[in-house]
Amino acid sequence: MDKGKLTQRYARQVAIPQIGAAGQARLQAARVLVIGAGGLGSPALFYLAAAGVGTLGIADDDLLSPSNLNRQILYTPAGMGQNKVEQAARRLRAFNPEITIIPHMTRVSRESGPALITDYDLVVEATDNLASKDLINELCVHARVPLVWAGVQHFEGQLSVVLPGHACRRCIFPELPEPGTPAELGIIGAVAGIIGTLQALEALKVLLGIGTPLVDQLLLWDGLHHSFEKIQVTRTANCPHCGQNEE
C-alpha cells in the first residue's frame, strides 16, 4: 500500500485532535501482546489492528472448537480443530496487511512469560481462566509492562488497567484462584465484544498517553440492566506483586 492509501486508511482517526499524525506514528511504532485469542481477544485484536498498531503479538495454545464460535469472531467453521493463533494471524493480516502480526502458539507460563512480555510495550490480558489472569498480572507488574485486563461472565464484564506504581489485579482480588478455574462459565458474544473493544480502547489511550485510562479504577458493566460502574481501587501495601513488600 502506498503512503497516500495508508494516510487514507487512518484519515478518520488522524483527524481526531488527540491523535493526529504524531499519534498515528506512535501507534505504528507500538508493540502490543494480546494473550488469549478468544472472546475478548477477537474484538481487541480487530480494533488494535484497525487502529494501525504496528506490531501485534497473539499468544494462545488452543485449537478451535465449535463452542468458540458464539463469541470468537476471528474464526470460521472451516478452521475447526486447527490452532487458533495461526488462523487469527491470517485473518488479521488480510484485514490490515500494513502491520506485523506475530503468532505465539504457547500458553504463557511463569517460565515462558517474562521473555515474551518484555518484548512488548503493553499486554492485553484476554484469557479465560483466573489462574492465568493472576499470573499475567504478576508477570506484567514485575516486568513493569502496562497491562489491560478484563473478565466476562454471563451478561457482565469487568475491566481495569495496571501501570507501574499503581494498583494491580491482585490488589483487587487478593485470593489466589484454584489452578484451571474457568472465568467464562457462560457468555454471550456481544458482551465479550463490548468488553474486548473497551480493552482495545484502553490500550490505545495508554499507548497515545491521552484521556484517563482505568488506572486505580475497576469498571463493572452489567449488560442485562445496562449499568456502568467505576470503583476506585487502591494499591495495597502488602500486595505480593506491586506492594511495598514486593520481593
Contact 54, 87 (CB under 8 A): no
Q: Examine residue 84 and tell whether it contacts Zn ion (CB under 5 A).
A: no
Instruction: Examine residue 239 and tell whether it contacts Zn ion (CB under 5 A).
Output: yes
Q: Does 168 bind Zn ion (CB under 5 A)?
A: yes
Q: How many CB atoms lie within 10 A of CB 24?
A: 21
Q: Which segment (16-24, 84-92, 170-178, 189-197) binds Zn ion by CB under 5 A? A: 170-178
Q: With beta carbons less than 8 A apart as the criterion, state whether 24 and 10 touch.
A: yes
Using CB under 5 A, count the residues that bind Zn ion: 6
Q: How far is the CB of 132 from Zn ion (least distance, A)?
A: 17
Binding part of the chain for Zn ion, among 64-72, 96-104, 110-118, 234-242 by CB under 5 A, reads 234-242
The answer to the question of residue 170 lying near Zn ion (CB under 5 A) is yes
Q: Which of the ranges 43-51, 177-185, 195-203, 237-245 carries the binding residues for Zn ion, by CB under 5 A?
A: 237-245
Cβ nearer to Zn ion, comparing 168 with 195: 168
The answer to whether residue 135 forms part of the interface with Zn ion (CB under 5 A) is no
State the nearest-atom distance from the C-beta of 18 to Zn ion, in Å: 29
Number of other residues whose CB lies within 10 A of the CB of residue 62: 16
Q: Distances from the Cα of 191 to the Cαs of 43, 105, 201, in angstroms?
A: 11, 26, 15
Which of 30/135 has CB closer to Zn ion?
Answer: 135
Q: What does DSSP assign to residue 154?
A: B
Q: Which residue is nearest to Zn ion (CB)?
A: 239
Would you say 132 and 109 are in contact if contact means Cβ atoms under 8 Å apart? no
- The conformation of residue 215, written as its DSSP 8-state character, comes to B
Query: With 0-12 CB in 10 A as exposed, 13-18 as middle and 19+ as buried, what is 162?
Result: buried
Return the range that interacts with Zn ion (CB under 5 A); candidates 85-93, 102-110, 126-134, 160-168: 160-168
Residue 242 makes contact with Zn ion by CB under 5 A: yes
Min CB(30)–Zn ion separation in Å = 25
Integer Cα distance of 124 and 131 in angstroms: 16
Looking at residues 171 to 210 of the shown chain, list those that interact with Zn ion (rule: CB under 5 A): 171
Q: What is the C-alpha to C-alpha distance for residues 150 and 157, in angstroms, rounded to an integer?
A: 7
Closest to 172 measured CA to CA, from 160, 155, 180, 182: 160
Interface positions with Zn ion (CB under 5 A) = 168, 170-171, 239, 241-242
